[in-house]
Structure 1
Amino acid sequence: MPENDNPKATTFRLPDPALVSRTMADVAERGQRIVTDFLKRQSATPADPDPLKIGNAFLEMTTRLMANPARLVQAQLGFWHDYLTLWQNTARRMLGDDPRPVVEDDPKDRRFKDDAWREHEVFDFIRQSYLLSARYFRHVVEGTEGLDPKTAQKVDFYTRQFVDAMSPTNFLLTNPEVLRRTAETGGENLLRGLSNLLADLERGRGQLRIRMTDDTKFKVGENIAVTPGKVVFQNDLMQLIQYSPTTETVLKRPLLIIPPWINKFYILDLRPKNSFIRWAVDQGHTVFVISWVNPDAKLAEKGFDDYMLEGPYAALDAIEKATGERHANVIGYCLGGTLLACTLAHMAAKRDTRVKSATFFTTMVDFEEAGELGVFIDEEQLAALEQKMQKLGYLEGREMATTFNMLRANDLIWSFVVNNYLMGQEPFPFDLLYWNDDSTRMPARMHSFYLRRMYQQNDLVKPGGIELAGVKLDLRKIKLPTYILSTREDHIAPWTSTYRATQIYKGPVRFVLAASGHIAGVVNPPDAGKYSHWINEELPPEPEAWFKGATELAGSWWPDWHRWVSALDRTMVPARIPGEGGLPAIEDAPGSYVKVMATD
């Protein structure tokens, strides 16, 4: 593009011939190796042409659309009217006029942050043209009549995936920022991007595994997950970590944290400045954390009841031996919270009163409205998934990670495509994204049970709907003090769904809503001064009514939780040193289980 047409002056360079030669030779060698390896594995396990089972959903949508052609024609006429207006406005801009945009992007959409998208007539036309097309696709899909809710949700979700993929920001010739970089570097950014692409294909053994962060800058136990402590117990499914105190006295009741095993526990212990675990220790809690194993085929038959018995039940037994204290406060995060709810219902039936308070972070127990994860859970997809897990004995870690990334595709997929492959830049070192990429496997039996009985059939919320270890569970028997923390922008556990637990548990319940999402809303230390939270002492049946009556407070919810849990029992005792109680230390925190990678 001519320099005087570009709102930002650009210096043009010619590519370095030696660099081009070396890069292309490297591409040829690595590309042949990647393709050979990929084809070898494909011949052993032929690929499913429709692994996500979306073909039938779109076929049904098309049939419904054709049954009402008048509505489709009306939508098309509206689209073309807006498009012609855009053409006219672009011509007027080129003549010096300043017409109002036909359509504007969301101010929160970072894809179009570069000034050229608005200052340059051509790129403004491309941007608005894309936004009009995206709006048209969504309007047509949302207006399709007669689809069952599950099919409509699937069609809407994958239409948005398509629309996001077609964004002009994702292509060299329609992204002004990439064009500028290409001119400035003489195309070296594209050569580096090609090398980055090959490296990601090598990491995924022929399948694209996008690198989100510079993973060479992090090592578990060295600069993340570094809160001092000891592993004091372990079994096939977990290691139990007891953290070293930082206060002379501690609260009498120990604190047990049950993280999800879909990801690793150190989301709560990334760095000292944002570690919930370290902060809780500093508040005078004796903190124990379950570190789940990264399972392989040997654990294929481990079920949800095994996770309950070898997880929280075994941890409570070990905590009593380590501290001499029978009672405990317990936190469950996401799937760990679902397991905690199951355990509490099981304990209620057994008249086991060791847990004196329960805290749930972003936890669903009623899965009727499970959000966009429900797109991946229908009979076709579950059957295909179970067939795959039967062969391996587990679900591959990357499959679950890809599913979660698709829920925020622009942030967790396409932004890295642009940065790594088009801009030719290395990803920024970011502890949260390192954790996000440190995926875990799922035992076949457990995962099938979880998806079918909870997500698909919503049996957990039904009294007696689920039986674990010989006990039919009834969540309404849970009568202990309960703190429920949800996040307003949660794509994984929508807060309007997690709120339903307030109408199920029979003990005193406090519901708190944090700003931001499933991770950032939880990992929000007070010193950061970020993200507000909402409180409301009333618990009306509908979440919207709760929010309408809620009060917004600045900053982190962590102090609110500490005030709540410490008020239940303020008794203090001398600090407990890991390994000096009834259980000897096995190894230093964070232990060895957490260091096992899904690729090992």
Structure 2
Amino acid sequence: MHVTEPVPAPFDPPAPGHYTYQAIDQAFKANMARLTNGISPAGLVEIQVQWLGHLLMSPGKQMELVEKAQRKLVRLMCHAMHAGPGADPCIEPLPIDKRFASPGWQQWPFNMMYQSFLLTQQWWHNATTDIDGVSDADEKVISFIVRQMLDHMAPSNFIATNPDILKATVEQGGANLLTGIEHLIEDVQHTLAGKKPVGTENFQVGRDVAITPGKVVYRNHLIELIQYSPTTDDVYPEPILIVPAWIMKYYILDLSPHNSLVKYLVDQGHTVFMVSWRNPTSEDRNLGMEDYRKMGIMDAIDAVSAIIPDQKIHSAGYCLGGTLLSIAASAMARDGDDRLASMTHLATQVDFTEAGELMLFISESEVSYLESMMWDQGFLDGYQMAGAFQILRSNDLIWSRLANEYLLGERQEMNDLMAWNADLTRMPYRMHSEYLRGLFLENNLSAGRYMANDLPVNLADIRVPIFSVGTVRDHVAPWRSVYKLTMHPATEVTFVLTSGGHNAGIVSEPGHPHRSYQMSTKKVGDHYLDPDRWQQSAPMQDGSWWPAWQTWLVGYSGDKVPARTPANTKAGYPALCDAPGTYVLQN
């Protein structure tokens, strides 16, 4: 039987001006994105219309909301009739909501104001959830939008409705407001001049923070590699290579001497190497995730292996640095490279199906919008990324701060962690687009579709023991998402859940007050425990998790050997300059 081959369709070139039209769209979106802090209005409108449409088609839900509104009004009226000194509120704020904690809020009429606000907030939560036809992801987005609107209108944000601000204004004759105006002018001047926030000048890199002695022993276009000087006569033979996230400066792990994880490890007899990422510019727009893997991790591993030959490496990655380390470790296992002795994850995700509220900013609409902004400038500015993180915790990081500094006139005292958080970095256009799409949107890493050296990698190929740390109040890498690594089928995984948030939970030095953690190990062949059952069964321990990790590292280390000074000139890795190096100083 004769089969006629299909005739290829002739190439249809784009209409004249096609690329010009695309450039106009991208330029328009890029400028719009700067005004909206990178949040796509089109994406928000789409979700709002979908929510409203399904709500209008749900008469039962509407009746429920009317009934709830009536009940809340009755509760508020009954509370008003019985409210007095020592009376219980009709609704309590969430444990993390500290806006109404002062005694002034228990006095009339402020008690009625904040109780009414909390009831309204609760009603709107009911109105934006449990609606037939609206997905869980879209419900979270619309709830988030409404929460931002309500937080903006909270009684704690205004002079006349905040008892603490009102009292301070009366007692000081308005001096607090004048001080607040001075703070506002000072902050605006710093912002317009491109300066860091007030108080950060007390935490200069290399003088006050990032001061653990060491040498830069390797440098390429993307990283400087720091080897820290030993403080003990003998050290464990296996070096530790730490890969921080590239979205912030590395020295969160080497803050002040009392809370430096690097110094702690060195003082315990470990040889520590640290990757310090370059702060990219528009010229680096085409650097991708594969460049970060090769130049950021593999080049560092090659350098460490040459400086300290014949020893395997304890690897550790923080946040996205840990994700990239997992990609590199999977590729190494696939290719028969066995230079790793262990792998540690600090607040790191490898499965992004439940990546928390950060996913509110990572939809197709949002990523496309961000890509237009990055296409125009060649990178994502650190301030644009910081804005998204601040919105996730707007109560603490925006509204409460504004009320304290501009209405009460009280500056929050700067500390080393806050100063580090203000030391922002940029991200190249291509890399940021690839990790948003490949990891967050498509979840290619956990699905075995992520490509390294043009071949897919599989996390299940990793055979080295893993130590993974999650933090209870992490809004960037929720601990239940971090915990998914315990599903690894072929290696031992020790999981730690520590108190604190994404940054403060990791910077948790011994002696830090109010710190605790839970820890247990899942061995090969053990049955899987879901996160909630694990949390109920894992023993609680007081104090810092750092000593537990150091003990774990020692368990996979050999007998101590004489300490090594930084660099190895014979191997081709001389000392280039003193730590903290030059890349960390780039603005």
Confirm or deny a common fold (TM above 0.5). Answer: yes
**Correspondent of 1:503 among 467, 470, 487:** 487
- One-letter amino acid matched to 1:257: I
Q: Deviations over 1:64-113 (max 9, x none)?
A: 111123422432333233324423433444xx686542212235422112
Aligned to 2:411: 426
Cα gap change, 1:377/1:206 in structure 2, threshold over 3 Å: closer, same or farther?
Answer: farther
Aligned match of 1:122: 109
**Counterpart Cα distance in 2 of 1:317 and 1:44:** 39
- Cα 1:325–1:594, aligned 2, differ >3 Å: closer, same or farther? farther
Match of residue 20 from structure 1: none
Choose 191-200 or 523-532, whichever is displaced more.
191-200
Match of 2:339 among 342, 354, 367: 354
> Residue by residue, what CA displacement relative to the aligned partner does 1:215-240 show, whole Å, maximum 9, x if unpaired?
22211111111111111111111110
* Aligned residues of 1:231 and 1:590 also touching (Cα < 8 A): yes
- Of stretches 257-266 and 402-411 in structure 1, the one that deviates more from structure 2 is 402-411
Which of the residues 14, 36, 40 maps onto 1:51? Answer: 40
Q: Structure 1 CA distance, aligned partners of 2:237 and 2:386?
A: 39
* 1:417-496 → structure 2 map (5 Å cutoff): 417-463=402-448, 465-496=449-480
CA–CA separation in structure 2 for the residues paired with 1:248 and 1:585 = 21
Post-superposition Cα deviations, 1:179-211, rounded to whole Å, max 9, x if no partner, equal 11212222222222223223333444499x994
Q: Partner amino acid for 2:483? A: Y
Q: In structure 2, which of residues 54, 58, 68 is the aligned counterpart of residue 64 of structure 1? A: 54
**Secondary structure of the corresponding residue to residue 230 of structure 1:** strand
Answer yes or no: is the 8 Å Cα contact 2:226–2:276 preserved in 1.
yes
Sort the Cα spacing of 1:44 and 1:245 in 2 relative to 1 into closer, same or farther, 3 A.
closer
Residue 513 of structure 1 contacts residue 534 of structure 1 at CA under 8 Å; is this kept in 2? yes
How much has 1:261 moved relative to structure 2?
0.6
Deviation at 1:326, TM superposition (A): 4.2
Q: Deviations over 1:278-335 (max 9, x none)?
A: 0000110000000101111111111111111111111111112323344211101110
Choose which of 521, 527, 533 in structure 1 pairs with 2:517. 533
Separation of aligned partners in 2, 1:91 and 1:436: 47
Q: Residues of 1 paired with 2:203 and 2:178: CA distance? A: 27
Structure 1: 5+ residue runs without aligned partners?
1-40
Q: Specify the code of the residue in structure 2 equivalent to 1:506.
A: A
1:144 aligns with 2:134: no
Partner of 1:19: none
Deviation by residue 1:356-403 (Cα, 9 ceiling, x = unmatched): 111111111111111111111111111111111111111111111111
After the TM superposition, which of the residue ranges 196-205 and 331-340 deviates more from structure 2? Answer: 196-205
Q: Distance in 2 between matches of 1:499 and 1:232?
A: 35
Q: 1:359 to 1:66 in 2, by over 3 A?
A: same
Structure 1 counterpart of 2:91: 103
Structure 2 residue 275 is matched with structure 1 residue 275: no
Compared CA separation, residues 359 and 193, structure 1 to 2 (3 A): same
Asked if the contact 2:29/2:373 (under 8 Å) is kept, the reply is no
Aligned residue in 2 for 1:191: 178
Query: CA deviation digits over 1:142-186, x for unaligned, max 9?
Result: 132211232112112222222222221111111111111212222
> Mind listing any 5+ residue stretches in structure 2 that lack a counterpart?
1-26
1:131-210 correspondence to structure 2 within 5 Å: 131-205=118-192
1:512 counterpart letter in structure 2: V
Residue 341 of structure 1 aligns with which residue? Answer: 326
Q: Which amino acid aligns with 2:202?
A: K
C-alpha spacing 1:335/1:43, structure 2 compared with 1 (3 Å): closer
Matches within 5 A, 1:300-379: 300-379=285-364
**C-alpha separation in 1, matches of 2:565 and 2:201:** 33
Q: 5 Å matches for 1:549-564? A: 549-564=537-552
Tell me the number of residue pairs that the alignment of Structure 1 and Structure 2 aligns: 551
Q: Secondary structure at the match of 2:316?
A: strand
Match of 2:506 among 498, 518, 522: 522
Does the residue aligned with 2:274 lie in a helix, a strand or coil?
strand
> What's 1:592 paired with?
582
State the SS of the aligned residue for 2:544. coil
| Cα distance in 1 for residues equivalent to 2:536 and 2:123 | 33
Cα RMSD over matched residues? 2.3
Q: Which amino acid aligns with 2:398?
A: I
Partner residue of 1:10?
Answer: none
Structure 1: which amino acid aligns with 2:545?
W
* 8 Å CA contact 2:234, 2:563 repeated in 1: yes
The 2-side partners of 1:452 and 1:335 are apart by 14
Query: Are the structure 2 counterparts of residues 309 and 97 from structure 1 closer, same or farther at C-alpha, using a change threshold of 3 Å?
Result: closer
Partner of 1:6: none
Please tell me whether residue 82 in structure 1 is matched to residue 72 in structure 2: yes
Q: Is the 8 A contact 2:29 2:369 kept in 1?
A: no
Letter in 2 for 1:477: D
Give the conservation status (yes or no) of the 8 Å contact 1:238–1:292.
yes
Q: Share of identical aligned residues, percent?
A: 38
Alpha-carbon contact 2:30-2:376 (below 8 Å) kept: no
For 1:220, the aligned partner's letter is V
Q: Which amino acid aligns with 1:51?
A: S
Could you tell me which amino acid in structure 2 is paired with residue 488 of structure 1? Answer: V
**Distance in 2 between residues matched to 1:165 and 1:480, nearest whole Å:** 48
